[in-house]
């Protein structure tokens, strides 16, 4: 993946995100784009008469803090052996990231930011979702692909091949529930054409689908779980199915690669 977008801020997961982007760029010969966003909308308040106004002092301080953070990131990346640029924005986070992601191969976010699921649905670009405390190293050693035969799972599978080329263990995991769609053997065949040897694991459902899948992932000691992002829009709010929501909220689980 040659064009890597990473969301940067002053929150705890920032270091892991940037380290992961650098690790991947070194492996693929890629370019890292770092976005530091200061959403103006967060500093707009309503007055008792129904009007609105900008809390100027708070916005100015946030801009200054984020300008400083962007300068620090730029100085740090200048010492690395990776091509990069640092961008600033004042748009809403999903709009800012989504605009740049249109010409990116991958976007890197944290679970705790609350942005990953929605961005995966609206951007059309795969999203790599990390825990706050751990960067992802490449090549990845052990990975699971959640497979239900659907279009979203297929999109995630296609997005994963550039990350799994040197992976030691790849398992395509299915939970006996759905019928129809693309057979799991088609997924194995697709991976093999990209030089990726994968094993198929079929699990009988025990409890919920997400709980069954979580057990399989844990037994594999997977560093990465590849899965489709399922959701639907309702008045611009995004509601996720149980599986997607479960793994986005599971802050001790593996990194996620989401695609829609």
pLDDT for 12-30, tens place per residue?
899 999 999 999 999 999 9
pLDDT score for 113: 84
Structural domains present in the chain: 3-130 (3.40.50.620), 142-259 (3.40.50.620)
Token digits of residue 127 = 């999203």
Q: Which residues contact 136 (CB under 8 A, 6 or more apart)?
A: 16, 20, 23, 24, 128, 130, 223, 224, 255
pLDDT score for 234: 40
DSSP 212-223: HHHHHHHHHT-S
C-alpha distances in angstroms, 4 versus 60, 78, 101, 152? 29, 16, 9, 21
Question: What angle (nearest 5°) sits at the alpha carbon of residue 148, between those of residues 101 and 153?
Answer: 15
pLDDT score for 180: 59
What residues in the chain have per-residue pLDDT under 50? 233-240
DSSP the chain: --EEEEEE-SSTTHHHHHHHHHHHHHHHT-EEEEEEE--GGGGEEE-TTS-EEE-HHHHHHHHHHHHHHHHHHHHHHTTSSSEEEEEEE-S-HHHHHHHHHTT-SEEEEEGGGS-HHHHHHHH-S-EEEE-TT-PPPSS--EEEEE--SSHHHHHHHHHHHHHHTT-SEEEEEEEET--SSS-HHHHHHHHHHTT---EEEEEE--SSHHHHHHHHHHHHT-SEEEEE--EEEETTEEEE-HHHHHHHH-TTS-EEEEE-
Q: Characterize the bridge pairing of strands 31-37 and 44-46.
A: unpaired
pLDDT score for 53: 61
pLDDT score for 183: 81
Q: Is 134 exposed, middle or buried (0-12, 13-18, 19+ CB in 10 A)?
A: middle
Place of tokens 């976010």: 109
pLDDT score for 155: 94
Token digits of residue 135 = 């960067």
Token digits of residue 97 = 């990231």
Token digits of residue 124 = 């059309």
d(CA 227, CA 115): 16
pLDDT score for 240: 43
């Amino acid at each position: 993946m040659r064009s890597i977008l990473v969301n940067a801020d002053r929150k705890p997961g920032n270091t892991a995100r940037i380290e992961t982007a650098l690790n991947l760029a070194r492996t693929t010969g890629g370019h890292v784009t770092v976005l530091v966003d200061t959403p103006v909308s967060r500093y707009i308040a309503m007055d008792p008469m129904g009007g609105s106004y900008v809390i100027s002092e708070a916005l100015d301080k946030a801009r200054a803090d984020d300008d400083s953070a962007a300068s620090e990131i730029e100085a740090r990346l200048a010492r690395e052996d990776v091509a990069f640029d640092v961008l600033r924005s004042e748009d809403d986070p999903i709009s800012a990231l989504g605009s740049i992601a249109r010409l990116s191969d991958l976007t890197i976010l944290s679970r705790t930011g609350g942005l990953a699921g929605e961005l995966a649905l609206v951007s059309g670009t795969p999203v790599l979702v990390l825990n706050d405390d751990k960067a992802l190293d490449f090549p990845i050693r052990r990975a699971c692909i959640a497979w239900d035969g659907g279009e979203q799972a297929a999109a995630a599978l296609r997005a994963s091949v550039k990350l799994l080329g040197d992976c030691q263990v790849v398992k395509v995991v299915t939970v006996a529930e759905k019928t129809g769609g693309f057979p799991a053997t088609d997924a194995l065949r697709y991976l093999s054409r990209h030089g990726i040897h994968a094993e198929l694991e079929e699990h009988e459902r025990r409890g919920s689908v997400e709980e069954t899948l979580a057990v399989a992932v844990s037994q594999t000691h997977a560093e990465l779980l590849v899965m489709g992002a399922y959701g639907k829009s309702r008045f611009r709010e995004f509601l996720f199915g149980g599986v997607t929501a479960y793994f986005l909220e599971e802050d001790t689980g593996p990194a996620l690669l989401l695609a829609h």
